[in-house]
């Protein structure tokens, strides 16, 4: 049985699934089952789920709902939630939010650590 570590970009996963299933509500998504399916036949060592918290000042209810969701994820065995910072920028005159580089650096660092672990 091969060892496995899974990295999940929470924002990308959310938007992909939301585009495929417009009525998707992540609070009903069974992440534990999802992880079991994608790691079937593998010895799962760790799951890293990284995302950025919503702006509490912009929509308090959405922020609270997201925090509850993160807490549900933290209860899954071998699951680590990594929160990154969002930065508001302007692109082509439009305000967009982008994940700050620290998240990308975390993923690179963890991939290096994981690579060392499997040697």
Residue 25 has pLDDT above 70, yes or no: yes
Read off the pLDDT of residues 3-19 as tens digits, 9 standing for 90 and up: 888 888 888 888 888 88
The residues that bridge with 81 in the sheet, in sequence order, are: 49
Question: Which domain does 54 fall in, by range?
Answer: 2-118
This prediction has a pTM of 0.74
- pLDDT value of residue 102: 54
Read off the pLDDT of residues 59-100 as tens digits, 9 standing for 90 and up: 899 899 999 999 999 999 999 998 887 777 788 888 777 666
Domain containing 56 — which CATH number?
3.40.50.1010
Domain count, the chain: 1
């Amino acid at each position: 049985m091969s060892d496995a570590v899974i990295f999940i970009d929470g924002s990308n996963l959310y938007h992909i699934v939301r585009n495929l299933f417009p009525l998707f509500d992540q609070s009903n998504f069974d992440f534990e089952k999802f992880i079991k399916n994608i790691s079937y036949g593998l010895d799962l060592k760790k799951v890293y789920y990284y995302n950025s918290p919503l702006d509490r000042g912009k929509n308090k209810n959405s922020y609270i709902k997201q925090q509850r969701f993160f807490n549900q994820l933290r209860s899954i065995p071998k699951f680590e939630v990594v929160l990154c910072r969002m930065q508001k920028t302007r692109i082509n005159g439009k305000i967009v939010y982008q994940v700050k580089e620290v998240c990308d650096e975390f993923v690179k660092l963890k991939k290096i650590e994981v690579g060392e672990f499997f040697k």
